[in-house]
Structure 1
Amino acid sequence: MIDFRRNLNFLRRRGASETSAVGSLRPRRSEAPRNKARFIIATGLFCSIYGVIGARLLMWGAMADPNDAYRAMANAGPVTRPDIVDRNGEVLATDIKTASLFAEPRRILDADEATEALLTVLPDLNPKVLHDRLSSKAGFAWLKRELTPRQQQEILALGIPGIGFRTEKRRFYPGGPTAAHIVGFTNVDNQGIAGMEKYVDDSGFRALQSSGFASNDSLEPVKLSIDLRVQHIVRDELVLAMQKYRAVAIGALVLDVNTGEVIAMASMPDFDPNSPGDALKKENLNRFSAGTFEMGSTFKIFTTAMALDFGKVNINSMVDTRPFFVAGHTIKEFHNKGASLSVPDIFKYSSNVGSAREADMVGLENHQEFLTRLGVLSRLKTELPEVAMPTQPRTWKKINSMTIAFGHGVSTTPLNTAVAAAAVINGGFLIPPTFLPRTQAQADEVKHRVLQEKTSLDMRTIFRINGEEGSGRAANVPGYHVGGKTGTAEKVINGHYAKDRRFNAYVGAFPIEKPRYIVMSIVDDPQIEPGKPNAQAGWNAAPLVGNIIRRAATFLNVKPDFGDAGKQLLVSY
């Protein structure tokens, strides 16, 4: 028993000792937080290091190499513009593919050798500029835009490292200068900068380009109101008339009086939009919409209509045409036709005194209001960007009203004049002009009445009288019943009216019984034609309108009417 107990106590002491030894191997409670902190620090350092590495990788990925940007530009697809077509679908402007030459100078092995080689194909390049570009440290440099296919092939055969081509698109105008002032042109980057080309860009195409949605060939053509056949006739007649009358400039317009559509408009001198370098020359200004002029006696259209519309006269009224004084000035006739004239005779004989008397009857404020109502004193709102603002006296006085009545003292555009004349003879509705197709229903939504219908009917009668008996006889093509009004204004030279320099115009309408078109011409500073007594509008501007109508009426779907005699002739034939 004693031994057993002794052994048991021994075993107990041994177990306790082992337990104590084992306990000494376990970590102390104070060391656990310290190890945990070390783990957190190590993890934080690891994450920080890799976070920095990741951030640098993202930054380097977001920052593109400038050379890559240039290469991307060089390889990008060409910008596509929509075709521009006339009202019948005939192409006025379209895109064609061309190649443009660029260099990556850092890849050029020998700038001298490369320069010499390229000049064998492109001798028009400036050698110094070319060498400077090839030897620069830039990543990209344009060398030549719009190469011919032959030039591209010859440069490829040179095998110069660091030289490349970008496929671009340039604008091509099949008609050349035929409709240059209307269609406009683009710059080297195929962006519209004039005419309807600029209108297309300003109407949303530029936004499509910048957003990348204009890089395909599925864009719908932009259709204009222009009839290319009539446009060709108008310009052809202008070429002939400019030579015949030795004029400084010349222009003409065909306008639909019921819809406001411009069917044709041309001004010369002009330019070829395929090579638009001459477009900005002063003499090549689009005089019909972007030039302002004193329109002379064509303003008597509005003076006569005003007197009728305000009820101051009727078509049978007689008006005193004796000279009279206003503010120290004498209002008198060039060719006196008597002490008084009827309203149609004032128009037919182009009486300055009679027109001034009509304006005096209406009054100064009403005169200004009436011309404003017709739009001749305001900038026209239309699609064509090149439209000038008319000018008028800052303060209207009685003498201003008198002279404006016969076309001196206010400068406006021929387009303003034609649009206002259309309102005078179309039933009394002012319709904003448009270079885009417009239906009659659409025209009815934008037109507004500016004259009484009776005034318009009376003016048609007066137009016809002048077309048959007055200064417009040369424009009255048989069968088409053309009526209208001539205008011969002395030009202002160095602040003074020059008696031997003139700006002529003729505003014609046909068929005058129920007008469908205004045809207007302007002739700037014509010379006297051999065999003619003078160079007034009746001898040049009026015949020009007649020639246009004679050739274009068929395309305008206006059939000639020769009356009963013509019908009998057709029956016998």
Structure 2
Amino acid sequence: MTTETHRRSAIEIARNRLMIGVVLFCFAFLIMIGRTIELGVSAPKPRVTATRQVVTVPEVQIARADIVDRNGEILATNLETASLYAVPKDIKDPQEAARQLVSILPELSYADVEAKLSSGKKFVWLKRKLTPRQKWEVNAIGEPAFQFEREEERIYPHGRLAAHVLGYVDVDGNGLGGVEHFFDAKLGDKSRTSEQLQLSLDIRVQYALADELQAAMRAYQAIGGAGLVMDVSTGEVIAMVSLPDYDPNNVRGVADTEKFNRATKGVYELGSTFKTFTFANALDDGVVSMEDGYDATKPLRISRFLIRDDHPKERYLTVPEIFTFSSNIGTAQMALDIGTERQQEFLGELGLLQPANVELTEVGAPLVPPVWRKSSTMTISYGHGLAVSPLQLASGISAMVNGGRLMTPTLVHNPENWQTGKQVIAPDTSRKIRQLLRMAVTKGTGGRADAVGYRVGGKTGTAEKAIAGGYARKKLISSFMGVFPMDDPQYAVFALLDEPKGTKETFGYRSGGWVAAPVVRNVILRSAPLLGVSPKQEDAGLYQDVALLIEDKKKK
């Protein structure tokens, strides 16, 4: 046998042996698989002697509806977060677990945490609403008894802006203030069909109003402020500000004075802004005409009091002059001609004798004289002796300029269901009031509110602050009620400062015309373009007929 033949024979033998080995290995492997399956199917199941533990976690409120402004800007929404709880009975070393947890969450008390973890209970809350980083660090402790429950945290992206309108929620997501409280059931209803609550606010205008009020408070060292912007045709509140304010994202430690809504809960004697209602009442009832007037030569004596003018002219004044120069003497005589009963009736029709009807629970009740005497009739005619909220004033003034329709103020944007309002004065009376308001700005005490191009009309208001048993002569409530544009009224703008101080720039004056009127002017200049109101060339035709009346009387 040759060498080559021998080599081939050896290779063939090796190949056969290898194939036999592979076959034997596969056969053995199949036997093992079969045996394993047999054991798994036929083996007796062990009896479970331990009872599975079930930890019941308190149900938490989730998926609260968003709140948005009239343009869809989010004002309140929810972010998913986690809350930490523990099963103390499963913790082997409570002291060490408490030490590690407090090192991550230093706001917790070690003694409290250690006591909870040593209690042996089946469930304890440790901290609600952790940040993602805090959750990661707690997980890193590696303690199985530490568990997390999904929750949703209410977030207010604009912080303090519109805090008094929005309100806030508690740790369980229940509304405790503002529209969060008023619409609590609707916002938390999981079966709701609407996913959002759309407010009438325009957050851009809200910022402009808040910014200007804050600047004025600093400039005049006022202790508080309030402001409103209202659509005079619909009653929608476009902006509402109360200062001081708070951050609804963190209400812990916030003082009650900061939560107090001065625009709706606060009631104030608003001074000469009330003359607008007296003039509308008298003109609408035919008590006076624009050609009439009253003698304002000297103060009026009523009982032991004197009614004086802040800017006395000491002569006969026409009806337009009485309004333009803000004469208390002339207005009080007009109120006497109207009569107490009719004055009460008219103010009641305007909603000034009962709390405002608006979507907030923070609403103040007007302060009405216990006995409405002759002196009350006279002083209320120019804004003393009757305290109302800024919202009520803005609503009433809107009716005076929009053709005479009183609209219910609202914080909800609902363009598909506009209200028609209640007719309280004739359209012709409303036209005359617009003329008077415009004159008060162009020729009277409201000159510092004039925003060129926007035909602003308005009325100043200055009143001594009411205190127990009388008035604080050195403490004023200074305000201005403005409307624009007066040839086609669209928006009312109100600003109030509580106890402002005079400055060098105001020559020491702290009345509404000096400190509040400029706030209204600046708000109009900033917000009018946002609201689609274009500036126009000033038109003297709106008030020139009234101005001619004044000139004719002077000549006579």
| TM-score where L is the length of structure 2 | 0.84
Contact 1:259 1:440 in 2 (8 A): no
Q: Does 1:485 align with 2:470?
A: no
Flag the 1:433–1:124 CA change in 2: closer, same or farther, 3 A.
same
| 1:283 positional shift | 4.0
Which of 391, 394, 398 aligns to 2:374? It is 398
Aligned length: 487
1:468-523 deviation line (CA, Å, top 9, x unaligned): 01111111111100000000111124433122210011000110112111011001
Counterpart for residue 38 of structure 1: none
1:197-243 deviation line (CA, Å, top 9, x unaligned): 112214x344x35xxx47xxx85111111111111111121222211
The one-letter code of the counterpart of 1:543 is: P
The one-letter code of the counterpart of 1:466 is: A
The CA distance in 2 between the partners of 1:366 and 1:89, in whole Å, is 45
Q: What's the RMSD between the two structures over aligned residues? A: 2.0
Specify the SS of the correspondent of 2:227: strand
Counterpart for residue 228 of structure 1: 203
What residue ranges of structure 2 are gaps of 5+ in the alignment? 1-50, 541-556
Counterpart for residue 521 of structure 1: 495
Counterpart for residue 425 of structure 1: 401
The CA distance in 2 between the partners of 1:257 and 1:196, in whole Å, is 22
Q: Does 1:339 align with 2:322?
A: no
The CA distance in 1 between the partners of 2:138 and 2:300, in whole Å, is 79
Which of 459, 475, 492 aligns to 2:433? It is 459
The CA distance in 2 between the partners of 1:490 and 1:283, in whole Å, is 23
Q: Does 1:116 align with 2:90?
A: no
The CA distance in 2 between the partners of 1:263 and 1:173, in whole Å, is 18
Flag the 1:92–1:441 CA change in 2: closer, same or farther, 3 A.
closer
Which of 483, 492, 496 aligns to 2:470? It is 496
Identity, in percent, stands at: 42
The one-letter code of the counterpart of 1:130 is: V
The CA distance in 2 between the partners of 1:132 and 1:260, in whole Å, is 56
Name the stretch that deviates more: 328-337 or 282-291: 328-337
Specify the SS of the correspondent of 1:186: coil
1:112-144 deviation line (CA, Å, top 9, x unaligned): 222112111111111222122112243221111
Specify the SS of the correspondent of 2:152: strand
| 1:288 positional shift | 0.7
| 1:376 positional shift | 1.3
Q: Does 1:507 align with 2:481?
A: yes
Q: Does 1:267 align with 2:242?
A: yes
The one-letter code of the counterpart of 1:468 is: T
Specify the SS of the correspondent of 1:462: helix
Counterpart for residue 87 of structure 1: 70
Name the stretch that deviates more: 270-279 or 449-458: 270-279
Higher fraction of helix: 1
Name the stretch that deviates more: 89-98 or 270-279: 270-279
The CA distance in 1 between the partners of 2:539 and 2:284, in whole Å, is 34
Which of 511, 518, 536 aligns to 1:536? It is 511
The CA distance in 1 between the partners of 2:227 and 2:490, in whole Å, is 17
Q: How does 1:241-260 map to 2 (within 5 A)?
A: 241-260=216-235
Q: Does 1:557 align with 2:532?
A: yes
Larger Rg: 1
Q: Does 1:136 align with 2:119?
A: yes
Counterpart for residue 386 of structure 2: 410
Q: How does 1:139-288 map to 2 (within 5 A)?
A: 139-202=122-185, 204-206=186-188, 208=189, 213=191, 220-288=195-263
Flag the 1:564–1:430 CA change in 2: closer, same or farther, 3 A.
closer
The one-letter code of the counterpart of 1:327 is: S
| 1:269 positional shift | 0.9
Which of 265, 280, 302 aligns to 1:290? It is 265
Name the stretch that deviates more: 488-497 or 414-423: 488-497
The CA distance in 2 between the partners of 1:459 and 1:383, in whole Å, is 29
Counterpart for residue 554 of structure 2: none
The CA distance in 1 between the partners of 2:504 and 2:312, in whole Å, is 27
| 1:563 positional shift | 4.9
Flag the 1:388–1:106 CA change in 2: closer, same or farther, 3 A.
same
| 1:284 positional shift | 4.1
The CA distance in 1 between the partners of 2:497 and 2:143, in whole Å, is 56
The CA distance in 2 between the partners of 1:220 and 1:138, in whole Å, is 39
Contact 1:271 1:278 in 2 (8 A): no
Counterpart for residue 442 of structure 2: 468
What residue ranges of structure 1 are gaps of 5+ in the alignment? 1-64, 566-573
